[in-house]
Amino acid sequence: MPGALTAVAGYFHQHPDAVMVHGRIEYFGETSTYYSQNISKKELATRYVSHICMPQPACFYRKKLLDEQGLLDESLHFSMDTDLFIRAGLHYHIVQVEDVLARFRLHAASKSVSSFNKKFLQDNAVIFSKVLATIGAAKEIEKMKQLGLYTEPGSLYNRPVRQFNSAAMLFIFAAPLIYPA
């Protein structure tokens, strides 16, 4: 959006400890236009490590994220951004703002619209399995196995220094699967 980069630079200046700033997005297409909504700030840090909770085109991050946590995991077909954003959530402060920072055109041929299916769920389950294994959440791993969603990770993320509520993380990850909107 016009002025987005200036606004993002200002937010990074205001929050020098933040590795990422994200806002809202305008979705538009042939039939409608609507705006994303930010999620509640309640349990926001937990949400950042449980699933993607912000629109990717409205996310801006410091090079430090890539330098310290690595590049995109290209083995993930749909959710490589989710993987990167979760790594950010595991290790850094993230700032959510109300600004509409980007636009996203919805059309039938786009990857996000035409191919949205179980592959997103599979990618996200792989990522979340890796998160749970990284933090050593044995009870939640067992529950993921019972749901048929756990995938034994080939590697782990860098171990975070802060603690997370793994039961809340599992609820946040699984609730949309159990109680779809």
Domain boundaries in the chain?
A: 4-178
Structure tokens, 181: 């909107």
pLDDT tier at 178, thresholds 50, 70, 90: low
pLDDT tier at 110, thresholds 50, 70, 90: low
User: Residue 112: pLDDT above 60?
Assistant: no
**pTM attached to this predicted model:** 0.87
Burial of 173 (0-12, 13-18, 19+ CB in 10 A): buried
Distance CA 155, CA 70 (A): 13
Topology of the domain comprising 4-178: Spore Coat Polysaccharide Biosynthesis Protein SpsA; Chain A (3.90.550)
In terms of pLDDT, which residue wins out, 181 or 69? 69
Q: Assign 3-state DSSP to the chain and report helix, strand, coil percentages, each to 5.
A: 45, 20, 35
The percent of residues in the chain predicted with pLDDT above 70, rounded, is 92
Q: How many angstroms separate the Cα of 42 from the Cα of each of 38, 46, 76, 168, 169?
A: 11, 9, 29, 12, 13
Structure tokens, 86: 């979760």
At residue 114, the pLDDT reads: 47
